[in-house]
Structure 1
Amino acid sequence: MTDNEEPMIIDGTMAEFPLKSYNRWQWWLLVALNIFFLVVGQAAAVLLGRFYYDQGGNSKWMATLVQTAAFPILFIPLYLIPSRQEASTTFSPPSIKVLTLIYFVLGVLLAADNMMYSTGLLYLSASTYSLICASQLAFNAVFSYFINAQKFTILILNSVVVLSLSSALLAINDESEGPSGVSQGKYIVGFLCTLGASAIYSLLLSLMQLSFQKVLKKETFSIVLEMQIYTSLVATCVSTIALFMSGEWRTLHGEMEGFHTGRVSYILTLVWTALSWQVCSVGVVGLIFMVSSLFSNVISTLSLAVTPIASLIVFHDKMNGVKIISMLLSLWGFTTYIHQNYLDDSKARRTQRANSETRNDSSC
């Protein structure tokens, strides 16, 4: 980074570019690209997952498997996009055992998280599911505080409280409706699974950020892809084993034959769902690496605010007064965090300019 370039200031910390080989506009371009991947991939994956259940799909483990099964396509950019070599450092690379342990633990957590999300989406409408998932920002703020030493200001606290209230409204709403034929008991199961999955997902993001900072200590895009590939490999293996052990694999042929829109549609739905989740995952891990886990979750929450509108258009989900209030609260929680980030950014830039002026005066 040249002397006339300002360091990036994200989440209240002043630091140089995470990818030092890129200049300022390239860094912003990569951040914007990862945001696009996350928002579009997540919205498409949730809608396709709800479509799978609506058209006759019923295998929770198949819905879980497709969330990571398309990871081999990430080998294409891994080998086609060269990573620039970083200057040597005093840090020695982690051992194979350490890397294996990290990828295994994160992969198992990912598989469990995906299963809970699949169960939640089975018993909830796409709009309700997305609004409950917005609670992940509140969970991540807490995990980031304890694991990543993230600042916990009054505005962040406000965001946590507001997003918690948003989820609580849906939990106590007697008029909340799941898909056709879903009882109130199953609705509660779906709610609890989605809420629990949001908490695990937030923990996963913070652990990924911690791994990048404390263990991997590499500043190349390839490490982002490797993290996604190997954790997805573990999660895919766990999901495949569970699919066979649960006996759900025996119902897949009948599920495909009975799919309301046909066998080809069944296959394409699973394929595009898998691809959408991988696009989303690249965006998530990319933002964790380049910015922070909390910022990644904020953008994910923004995407979840878009999904209810899309599900209203695609699936004609009912948007009663409680859902509308819940969505507005989610947007409020998102906005307060962004405002805190703006305040931190402004303060850090003023500090930087003051330090620069002090250095200039001293050199005179």
Structure 2
Amino acid sequence: MAQNQQPISQTNPQEHPVQIPLNIERDYTTLINQIGNTNRKQNHWPTIILSIIFVIVGQTIAKLLENFYYDQINRSEYNENRQNDGVWTQALLQTVGFPLLLLPFIILTKKHNHHQQQQQPPVTYHYKSLAIIYICIGIIMSVQGRLAAMGKLDIPFGVFTLIYTTQLIFTAIFARFINKIKFNKWIIISLIFAIVTGALTMNTSFGGEPDEAEENYPSGSWAALFAGICFALLLCNIQNVLDNYIFKRTVSTVRKPSFASVFEVLIFSSLVATIISVVGLLIAGEQDDLKREMNEFSKGKGSYVMAMVGQAVSWQIYWVGIVGLVFSVSSVLSNVISVITWPIVSVLVVIFFNFMDDEFDVLKGIALITAVVSAVAYFFRASPTLSPLEFLIRLG
């Protein structure tokens, strides 16, 4: 008996450090210690880093092209009757590129199934429940995109940014009650600095900024607030479907969750959101506006098509990163990374566009610093036994 117990005592210390960092804010620690498995990828750092890169690159390019689009169609010259033209189009651009995800989804699914060909118990997929959930997520995605597009055209972009930053607060609230996430001091510090980062980007210029005659503070403020609520609810619901449906069909077997789950959620939810946005676009008659904008685009029809296609592709890169962070860690980190990317966009807008009175000022510099502090604080909570200096050295 003594010989049989020795190998068991040697294997547990090797598994313990690998599993705890990823699940420190989750309720799966007990399960991990008992069965030696997790509903998150064990080698999570490459996934996290790649997802963060996708968020930064996707969101930055998409918003730069959005500014380019509004700048070239001379949005400042629009009259009040055409103030909200294109809001369904902007919502559509955030999801219409989902067919690009089909190929990586198929490749990852086949690769995952190839490595899991040993005999396993039958898996329950809950098709009906997943279908209903994907429809709900798709509705939230389309509503969020439409509200955000409308809010930016109704109120000054600085006011929109301040209100929209409240998404971090709502994400924390929803994550606590929906996803049962436990917060420690480092996560709270990270959220505080992320909120400060979002607020400091309020002086960023925007190509679709309304003039004084077009400003509609009641409508724009409510749109910005509910857009933030929808985005927070969206992330928490995505984590909920991953935890309670997709991951459960792997925890009950010897299979490990695959990143293909990210593409699965996005493809089906985006399909629903795209259908809703297309219907809204047709009802609003925006298809006629698209033809007019293409003909009147300052840089020509080719540039117009490239700007629209570029936005659609960039948003898909962004969504893969956002949902990838939910898959790897949590909805809270996903929203933190999304918000702290804003200062990067703010600086690049100054570089690439010549908007009036917009320059790289002290606030933009401070926002970049607080963004870094927010990210470091969140990831430092994964290694609570290290000092901040040791953590930065090891992370590098």
Tell me whether the two structures share a fold, i.e. TM-score over 0.5. Answer: yes
Between stretches 79-88 and 121-130, larger displacement belongs to 121-130
Aligned length: 342
**Partners of 2:206 and 2:93 in 1: CA distance:** 26
Structure 1 residue 128 displacement after superposition:
7.1
Query: Are residues 1:54 and 2:81 paired?
Result: no
Structure 1 residue 139 displacement after superposition:
2.3
Query: Are residues 1:7 and 2:18 paired?
Result: yes
Task: Give the equivalent residue in structure 2 for 1:284.
Answer: 322
Task: Give the equivalent residue in structure 2 for 1:214.
Answer: 244
**Partners of 2:352 and 2:12 in 1: CA distance:** 49
Task: Give the equivalent residue in structure 2 for 1:199.
Answer: 229
Between stretches 55-64 and 1-10, larger displacement belongs to 1-10
Task: Give the equivalent residue in structure 2 for 1:45.
Answer: 62
**Partners of 1:327 and 1:127 in 2: CA distance:** 17
Deviations 1:26-66 (A, max 9, x none): x3222211111111001111111122122117411111111
Query: Are residues 1:78 and 2:78 paired?
Result: no
**Partners of 1:129 and 1:91 in 2: CA distance:** 49
Deviations 1:47-93 (A, max 9, x none): 11122122117411111111111100111111223342458887852
Larger Rg: 2
1:141 to 172, 185, 204: 172
**Partners of 1:241 and 1:151 in 2: CA distance:** 40
TM-score normalised per structure 2: 0.74
Root-mean-square deviation over aligned CA pairs: 3.6
Structure 1 residue 210 displacement after superposition:
0.8
> Quick one: structure 1 residues 316 and 132, their matched pair in 2 at CA, closer, same or farther if it must change by over 3 Å?
farther
> Quick one: structure 1 residues 284 and 313, their matched pair in 2 at CA, closer, same or farther if it must change by over 3 Å?
same
Structure 1 residue 314 displacement after superposition:
1.6
Task: Give the equivalent residue in structure 1 for 2:383.
Answer: 345
Is the CA contact (8 Å cut-off) linking 1:170 and 1:176 kept in structure 2? Answer: no
> Quick one: structure 1 residues 250 and 119, their matched pair in 2 at CA, closer, same or farther if it must change by over 3 Å?
same
Identical counterparts, % of pairs = 29
Is the CA contact (8 Å cut-off) linking 1:10 and 1:341 kept in structure 2? Answer: no
**Partners of 1:162 and 1:169 in 2: CA distance:** 10
Structure 2: which 5+ runs fail to align?
A: 1-10, 76-84, 251-256, 388-396
Between stretches 310-319 and 280-289, larger displacement belongs to 310-319
> Quick one: structure 1 residues 2 and 302, their matched pair in 2 at CA, closer, same or farther if it must change by over 3 Å?
farther
**Partners of 1:228 and 1:29 in 2: CA distance:** 20
**Partners of 1:75 and 1:205 in 2: CA distance:** 21
Query: Are residues 1:67 and 2:98 paired?
Result: no
Is the CA contact (8 Å cut-off) linking 1:120 and 1:190 kept in structure 2? Answer: yes
Task: Give the equivalent residue in structure 2 for 1:116.
Answer: 147
TM-score normalised per structure 1: 0.79
Task: Give the equivalent residue in structure 2 for 1:102.
Answer: 133
Task: Give the equivalent residue in structure 1 for 2:278.
Answer: 240
Is the CA contact (8 Å cut-off) linking 2:40 and 2:327 kept in structure 1? Answer: no
Is the CA contact (8 Å cut-off) linking 1:41 and 1:276 kept in structure 2? Answer: yes
Task: Give the equivalent residue in structure 2 for 1:275.
Answer: 313
1:317-328 counterparts in 2 under 5 A?
A: 317=355, 318-319=357-358, 325=363, 328=366
Structure 1 residue 197 displacement after superposition:
1.4
Look up the SS of the partner of 1:150 in the other structure.
coil
Structure 1: which 5+ runs fail to align?
A: 350-364
Is the CA contact (8 Å cut-off) linking 2:191 and 2:336 kept in structure 1? Answer: no
> Quick one: structure 1 residues 65 and 245, their matched pair in 2 at CA, closer, same or farther if it must change by over 3 Å?
same
**Partners of 1:47 and 1:130 in 2: CA distance:** 16
